Structure 1
Amino acid sequence: MMMAERYDGFASDSGCAPRQNHDAAARLTDPSRPPGPRVYRMLRPFKLHEPTSVDDAVSLLGHYGEEAKVYCGGTELLLAMKEGLLRYNHLVNVKTIPGLDEVSFDSSTDVLSIGAAVTHSALEQSPQVQSHFPMIAQAEGNVANVRVRNVGTIGGNLCFSEPHSDPGAFLLLFDAQVEIQGTVGRRTMPLAELTLGPFETCLEDDEILTRILVPQFPQGMTGAYLKFGYHVRPTLGLGVAVRLDGAPSNGEGIERAVVAEVRVSVGSAGPKAVRAPEAEDLLRGKTVAELLPSSNNSGSTPMAEAGRLAGRAADPLDDMHGTAEYKEHMVGIFLKRALAQAIQTS
């Protein structure tokens, strides 16, 4: 069983931002922009292409190069184009390409296959996701707002590479992979390698993310994803997955159980979502009693040190959401909370 919880915050979803325009995309979502109503301009004329296959789509992208962009969810892409931050003469609509809006679960491999054009709402409501990946269903239900969840797509969210993306953080817990297709062929790579930095991915101009592959947790592993923030975009998103050895079936004596395997992911605090391998190494092999003692201990503890390591791994930045020091502190707090929730469901 897996859990996801929201702490007054949400992330955005969008169409893919091109690598050469990530500065413009950053200005669009910059929280330091002055408050108040924005003046929206009319969209400049562009041609909308509606290919019927992925092969046709990548062919169009290869032909038009930097003048073209994939249009999928488009919840940020069209806004950026209206404000003149991004300009394209051609948009390639992939939302209606057969297969890209499908979700399936392969019971022989225990892998969930998510088409890039699947909306957040569809993912949240998918019977396969609810049955086999309840944490993902719960987390998707807390992405942004109803409008974005109904229109925005999982592929657009990951390709836009907005640092405050929730899917970009919690999917790292599952060691998710992405399938990419371009004019020269197809490739599969870890999701962790897709994002290079804020609004920047490794995709070439003629490439499309077509599918996300999500393996189930190993037997006995449970997870939790928490998020926190006072503003439109979350200050922090943190996920933990844990497998215990020696855990009693009735829950009594859980403090003697040992952390056999653990995964920690942190998003929103820094330039991109990351795993925290040093924190994972420190937590592994510790008993629940060592990590979550019944009495408060203000001194140095394994849990406190793991929080510091995870905070540093996030590479936090000073911004309107808080200082880097504050974010590192919050990582430690939420790591402890997420670990406790994950253990409760084991």
Structure 2
Amino acid sequence: MLTSPFTFEKPTTIADAIEAVGDSGESMFYSGGTELLLAMKMRVIHTERLVDIKGIPGLDRIVLTDANEIEIGSRCTHKRIAADPVIREHAPALSTLCDNVANVRVRSVGTIGGNLCFGEPHADPPTMLAALNARLVLQGQTGVRFVHADEFIRSELETVREPDELLTMIVFPRPTGPVTYRRFKHGERPSVNVAMAWSMEATSSTIKTARVRVGALGSRPQPLKAVEDALKGRSIADVRPAIEAVLAEALDELDINDDRHGGADYKRHLAGVLLLRNAEEAMTRGKRSR
């Protein structure tokens, strides 16, 4: 099926792109288009005008800043992130994730910003970025604002981004401990995914803080607070029993949708299995870094 007719603009600055889109809801930003164009062809999404941001400089850069944070431009493709030396050195789990997103066409053309803004529940990056405590930089007609990855997705296929706001950058602290990611998938999308990020005490094998996120179960990634609290202050050797002591309670608190990817009980079980596998990998990495 073909899309409905639309016009096409290609601005060269962020300000021009924001002005071209406006706040009427009749125009949309366009970059990789792997999700957007498919939705337009299926007549799920209709827009009068596409504003192509591929020609705007700076949106495809990846840097480690003097503030010890990693910045990823929203127009970076999954392939670009997977191969970037900064990501491979400081956040290798994110590199591996991006190297396995969907299929080779999506990895080559699809962008991290487009993935986030589409709000697809069965996606890989949102769960990892929430575990990494990432902030998303949104720029619109009224200025710039930062939104935490945990708060960006409002519900299925809906985010907090306003129509005139362009997601320009993803920023997260350089990880100081092990970061892990596991998923179970049907086809090209995860049915369940789990990401875990630890920070470690400088002089011991003790976990300072832990962030655990489970995705693809509901409309957005969800924290496992009981697991995070159980891990804080624990030595690496005590990780598994600490998790097992609270796991059932933590999993029961998850909001899980029954869908074609499986029933709630099935996906709850998978989340527990993936969490423990994440923990085993993190323990191994944590021991090696001591």
Q: Settle same-fold status: TM greater than 0.5.
A: yes
Deviations 1:141-192 (A, max 9, x none): 0111100000000000011111111110111121111111111111112121
How many residues align? The count is 286
1:146 aligns with 2:104: yes
Shift of 1:275: 2.3
Deviations 1:272-323 (A, max 9, x none): 112222221123234445443xxxxxxxx64234333442454111112211
Query: Do the aligned partners of residues 174 and 198 (structure 1) sit closer, same or farther apart at CA in structure 2, a change above 3 Å counting?
Result: same
Aligned partners of 1:227 and 1:238 also within 8 Å: yes
Q: Write out aligned runs for 1:131-170 (5 A).
A: 131-170=89-128
Q: Secondary structure at the match of 1:260?
A: strand
Aligned partners of 2:103 and 2:188 also within 8 Å: no
1:74 is aligned, of 33, 52, 62, to 33
Query: 2-side partners of 1:209 and 1:246: how far apart?
Result: 35
Q: Secondary structure at the match of 1:187?
A: strand
Aligned partners of 1:49 and 1:93 also within 8 Å: yes
Counterpart position of 1:307: 247
Deviations 1:107-160 (A, max 9, x none): x21111111111000111111211222111111101111000000000000111
Q: Secondary structure at the match of 2:246?
A: helix
Q: Write out aligned runs for 1:79-228 (5 A).
A: 79-106=38-65, 108-218=66-176, 221-228=177-184
Counterpart position of 1:234: 190
Counterpart position of 1:317: 257
Shift of 1:71: 0.7
Query: 1-side partners of 2:89 and 2:259: how far apart?
Result: 38
Shift of 1:266: 0.8
Query: 2-side partners of 1:285 and 1:309: how far apart?
Result: 20
Q: Secondary structure at the match of 1:109?
A: coil
Q: Write out aligned runs for 1:53-68 (5 A).
A: 53-62=13-22, 65-68=24-27
Query: Do the aligned partners of residues 258 and 184 (structure 1) sit closer, same or farther apart at CA in structure 2, a change above 3 Å counting?
Result: closer
Which one has the largest radius of gyration? 1
Counterpart position of 1:252: none
Query: Do the aligned partners of residues 243 and 182 (structure 1) sit closer, same or farther apart at CA in structure 2, a change above 3 Å counting?
Result: closer
Letter of the 1:232 counterpart: E
Letter of the 1:89 counterpart: E
Query: 2-side partners of 1:73 and 1:313: how far apart?
Result: 36
Runs of at least 5 residues in structure 1 that lack an aligned partner in the other structure:
1-40, 249-256, 293-300
Query: Do the aligned partners of residues 313 and 177 (structure 1) sit closer, same or farther apart at CA in structure 2, a change above 3 Å counting?
Result: farther
Q: With structure 2 as the length reference, what TM-score do the two structures score?
A: 0.92
> Which sits farther off after the overlay, 75-84 or 310-319?
310-319
- Higher RCO, 1 or 2 (CA under 8 Å, sep at least 6)? 1
Q: With structure 1 as the length reference, what TM-score do the two structures score?
A: 0.78
Query: 2-side partners of 1:282 and 1:178: how far apart?
Result: 28
Q: Give the percent of matched residue pairs that are identical in Structure 1 and Structure 2.
A: 36
Aligned partners of 1:169 and 1:238 also within 8 Å: yes
